[in-house]
Structure 1
Amino acid sequence: MSASNFNIWSFQGKMKTLHLSWVAFFITFFVWFNHAPLLSLIAESLSLTPAQIKTLLILNVALTIPARIIIGVVTDLYGPRKTYSLLLILCSIPCFMFALGNSFEQLALARFLLGFIGAGFVIGIRLVSEWFPANQLGLAEGIYGGWGNFGSAAGAISLPILALAFGGDDGWRWAVGLTGLISFIYGIIFYRTVRDTPQGATYFKPKSAKAMEVTSVGDFFLLLVMKLPLFGALALLNWKLSPAGVSLISTEFSMLVYVILAALFVYEVIAAYQVNKSVFKEKVEPIHQYSFKQVAVLNVLYFATFGSELAVVSMLPLFFSETFGLDVIYAGLLASSYAFMNLLSRPLGGWISDKYGRKTTLIILTTGLSLGYGVMALIDGNWPLFLAVAAAMSCSFFVQAGEGAVFAAVPLIKRRLTGQIAGMTGAYGNVGAVCYLTVLSFVSYSTFFAVIAISAFIGLLMLYFMQEPKGEMAEILPDGSVELIKVS
């Protein structure tokens, strides 16, 4: 996988930015999923029930839904350097809180807050897009996402070993706390070593931080429709935590949350209208138009790809342990094979997308994703263990290559909105995770995998509406002139 002036071994210019970015993303995933391979030890240490363990899994991905939207806006306004650094430093705090927790309630609060670190991915998407041309962008974003995503696999491999090395009932606490310390230190390093853009380049900012810009009346209403699942997932989480679910919050508090979510949705509608009311009065010049339909399709695809990855990474150690009767370390090592594929599959998905087209690549990979989860739905204790692991790794290839292909297209829609678009698409991944993990709390592992396979097939049908990015997109420079940025 080589391209002109793309030397993966270089640590100068754009390659330096790429390497520093994927390491930052790696650390966010290392911290975000530092609990997954340790769940058995944590449950034994604090006498947690299976229902409480599954609740922690859901809480871990919940806050990332609004966080990715917020971080996308902040990134577009203030730049990736400041945003990523601050995120890494601040999120070390709930990591330390989790390491020191002595009750389910304390662990639940810390895991909920730690969901914010999952928004780090959005920042790097904008940063990498500033440094790489369109014909290298898929590969660069794939390396950023794939190598960074490997943080969860690294945690699955190393954290149980670290916990046992520290020893005793508190071994898991030291392992988790160490990940928080790494996050804090790297936040400082990132701030001191990264630039938002190459020397002399313009960093384009959105016209408003209140809502995403659209360029037609139809796109305005589609934007509102696509906001609904984001609020729906939060409402689903609220229901899960209420007395109707695991009774972590009271009925009164649950009703208050529903009211707040409804009020926030109304606010979002009003803000979207205020930012985009001009499209109801006059048409946007063709050179400045973009199709929000592109964003909607990519949202659905990321729901199925990254949403399933988050859910499967969270539950796979338990799946292997319970299905094949394995101990915690061995199950964690086998489960890491799923995330291990990120090292090559996500960059490969981006590279294929650069070479053969965004839409064609997504059609092929989404088909494989749906079939792969269909196969995983058939796994039971009678399967040879090596065959089950092979099935998980094969499915993982299509999942993560699909993620690479999705974010090979995201930065080619509208440069100044890249953070916001990446934030919404990324949030849909978390919506998928919440939905899938909620399904898992009610059904068998087999049904869980089958549900993912069906949702991926729906994403495949949605690709009919996607258009291949072509030509150039226009951005307005500070002096009022127009800069054309190639997208093909």
Structure 2
Amino acid sequence: MVQDPKQLERERPERLKVLWLSTIGFTVMFAVWLMFGVLGVPIRQEFGLTDVQLSWLSAVAILNGSLWRMFTGILADRYGGRLVFTLMLFFTAIPAYLVSRAGSYEELLLYAFLVGFAGNAFSVGIAWNSAWFPKEQQGFALGLFGAGNVGASVTKFIGPALIASVPAAGYLGGLIPGGWRFIPFLYAVLLVLMGLVMWFGTPKNDKVPGQGRALLDMLRPLRHIRVWRFSLYYVVVFGAYVALSAWLPKYYVDVFGLPLHQAALLTALYIFPASLLRPLGGYFSDRFGARRVMYWTFWSILIPSGILMMPEGHIVLYTQGGTREVMQFTMSVWLFTLLVFLIGIGMGIGKAAVYKHIPTYFPKDVGAVGGLVGMLGALGGFFLPPLFAYAQAWTGLPQMTFFVLFLLTAVSFLWMHLTVLQLLQQEAKHLKNDFELKGDRPS
């Protein structure tokens, strides 16, 4: 449906309010969702946790931030993003506060699971912004909203300093907790404030594209195989991003022996490009096509992860004069950080490219399709941290983290490339270099 240019211009101020406030709200929610990446280190010390136990603490939060993405996306289409997003902010404040009061590992697991609901805000924001923005601006708008992923770095910046500066006994006789517990308490307050700003600062007359539609009708696009293919792509660019955001601080501490505050800052160097370049990925997808951008993305992850998965050591040659060590390889912390930074660039651009497909192919079902893609992608963030831990435990090699990433990316790249080749065979020969195939048109 072609929209009236005059109406689009009249709605521009309201559209920008939705974009900016939803982006800020998503940034706060994302910070809450992944706060255990930094809090996990002092929590491990206080409760005496193993690496596997610690990995499950992050994993259960990621799990609950994945399970409801399709459902909340559908709710945003049916009842409006303003209502759904605001309610989510208020609800998430409750378990955030409870995390600050947890007294055992079992309580932490429960509250971490509940506070993980924050991660579902993504599908709400995607559906909400898709409803407000015209097709030719959706790539950039959804990319800018998705840049709220930078919230993963908020705790890494403020966490170590606040943990060190706030007394363990807290303030006001413990009413405001201290140490690591101050962080979730602070987030609980910010969530309530953001909920109020969201409700009173966005347009009351919201856009509700799914109003009145039957639920089965909204779920019908999920039968298309391309939806599930997009979901696997999103596991690579988002699920692995989430997993590494939570895993890297511990990796820096354990492998390179860095203090927590340095580990957190170096992890932020990965998080920034993986989050802030998302608008650029949306711009590239609008201009060059989402599939071509996905080719760039996969190669930018495969090459660095292929280097990072190499174990440290050297080749030994046996000669007549005895043995000789050659090709010694040792990963320095700066080379490691550079390669992880490159992976972050690929993921930041790739996340926008994946979601550029959705309003193009399923313009009336962004909530359901975007929710499913986001759900399965985020579930990758749930499974990967324990998989990293088990792979390391089985082999004794921390580099197995990046072997898992390399393998996952290779499988996704192969599926996409085989799909492209199959579609090229169905098209005219003059389209052999056209990745945005006309044969892969929306259903």
Same fold by TM-score greater than 0.5: yes
Match of 1:304 in 2: 236
Deviation at 1:469, TM superposition (A): 7.9
Partner residue of 1:179 out of 170, 187, 194: 187
Match of 2:75 in 1: 74
User: Aligned ranges for residues 265-414 of structure 1 at < 5 Å?
Assistant: 292-378=224-310, 382-414=330-362
Deviation at 1:16, TM superposition (A): 2.4
Match of 1:447 in 2: 400
In structure 1, distance between residues paired with 2:438 and 2:141:
19
Match of 2:41 in 1: 40
Q: Kindly provide the amino acid, as one letter, of the partner of residue 67 in structure 2.
A: P
Partner residue of 2:209 out of 185, 203, 207: 203
Determine what percentage of the aligned residue pairs are the same residue. Answer: 25
Report the secondary structure of 2:334's partner residue.
helix
Match of 1:194 in 2: 202
In structure 2, distance between residues paired with 1:206 and 1:462:
37
- CA offset digits 1:194-242 (Å, max 9, x no partner): 23877xx663437323574336xxx7xxx3xxxxxxxxxxxxxxxxxxx
In structure 2, distance between residues paired with 1:127 and 1:140:
11
Report the secondary structure of 2:365's partner residue.
helix
Structure 2: gaps (5+ residues): 7-11, 170-177, 313-328, 393-397, 424-435
- CA offset digits 1:241-275 (Å, max 9, x no partner): xxxxxxxxxxxxxxxxxxxxxxxxxxxxxxxxxxx
Contact 2:93/2:192, CA 8 A, preserved across alignment? yes
The 1:145–1:379 alpha-carbon spacing in structure 2 relative to 1, beyond 3 Å, is farther
Report the secondary structure of 2:220's partner residue.
coil
Deviation at 1:379, TM superposition (A): 7.0
In structure 2, distance between residues paired with 1:177 and 1:429:
29
In structure 2, distance between residues paired with 1:202 and 1:59:
32
The 1:141–1:462 alpha-carbon spacing in structure 2 relative to 1, beyond 3 Å, is same
In structure 2, distance between residues paired with 1:344 and 1:441:
28
Q: Kindly provide the amino acid, as one letter, of the partner of residue 354 in structure 1.
A: D
Match of 1:151 in 2: 151
Contact 2:62/2:381, CA 8 A, preserved across alignment? yes
The 1:45–1:394 alpha-carbon spacing in structure 2 relative to 1, beyond 3 Å, is same
In structure 1, distance between residues paired with 2:370 and 2:342:
26
In structure 1, distance between residues paired with 2:208 and 2:372:
24
The 1:178–1:202 alpha-carbon spacing in structure 2 relative to 1, beyond 3 Å, is closer
Aligned residues: 389
The 1:379–1:328 alpha-carbon spacing in structure 2 relative to 1, beyond 3 Å, is farther
In structure 2, distance between residues paired with 1:375 and 1:302:
22
- CA offset digits 1:94-142 (Å, max 9, x no partner): 1111111010011000011122110000011111112222222111111
In structure 2, distance between residues paired with 1:195 and 1:410:
25
State whether structure 2 residue 443 is matched by structure 1 residue 435: no
The 1:342–1:368 alpha-carbon spacing in structure 2 relative to 1, beyond 3 Å, is closer
Contact 1:412/1:469, CA 8 A, preserved across alignment? no
User: Aligned ranges for residues 103-142 of structure 1 at < 5 Å?
Assistant: 103-142=104-143
Deviation at 1:344, TM superposition (A): 3.4
Report the secondary structure of 1:12's partner residue.
helix
In structure 2, distance between residues paired with 1:470 and 1:140:
24
Output the aligned Cα RMSD.
2.6
Match of 2:51 in 1: 50
In structure 2, distance between residues paired with 1:439 and 1:138:
33
Give the structure-2-normalised TM-score. Answer: 0.82
- CA offset digits 1:433-467 (Å, max 9, x no partner): 22322311211231121121111121112224368
Q: Kindly provide the amino acid, as one letter, of the partner of residue 316 in structure 1.
A: L
Match of 1:263 in 2: none
Contact 1:128/1:140, CA 8 A, preserved across alignment? yes
The 1:469–1:191 alpha-carbon spacing in structure 2 relative to 1, beyond 3 Å, is farther
In structure 1, distance between residues paired with 2:374 and 2:50:
31
Q: Kindly provide the amino acid, as one letter, of the partner of residue 325 in structure 1.
A: G
In structure 1, distance between residues paired with 2:218 and 2:131:
20
Report the secondary structure of 1:341's partner residue.
helix
Deviation at 1:173, TM superposition (A): 0.7
Give the structure-1-normalised TM-score. Answer: 0.74
Report the secondary structure of 2:287's partner residue.
helix
Q: Which has the larger radius of gyration?
A: 2
Deviation at 1:48, TM superposition (A): 2.8
Q: Kindly provide the amino acid, as one letter, of the partner of residue 458 in structure 1.
A: V
In structure 1, distance between residues paired with 2:364 and 2:204:
13
Deviation at 1:165, TM superposition (A): 1.3
In structure 2, distance between residues paired with 1:360 and 1:424:
23
Contact 2:100/2:185, CA 8 A, preserved across alignment? yes
Structure 1: gaps (5+ residues): 6-10, 224-291, 475-486
Report the secondary structure of 1:122's partner residue.
helix
In structure 1, distance between residues paired with 2:85 and 2:150:
18
The 1:418–1:431 alpha-carbon spacing in structure 2 relative to 1, beyond 3 Å, is same
Contact 1:35/1:176, CA 8 A, preserved across alignment? no
In structure 2, distance between residues paired with 1:70 and 1:423:
7
Q: Kindly provide the amino acid, as one letter, of the partner of residue 353 in structure 1.
A: S
Contact 2:66/2:376, CA 8 A, preserved across alignment? yes
Contact 1:61/1:115, CA 8 A, preserved across alignment? yes
Deviation at 1:64, TM superposition (A): 2.4
Contact 1:299/1:428, CA 8 A, preserved across alignment? yes
The 1:196–1:64 alpha-carbon spacing in structure 2 relative to 1, beyond 3 Å, is farther
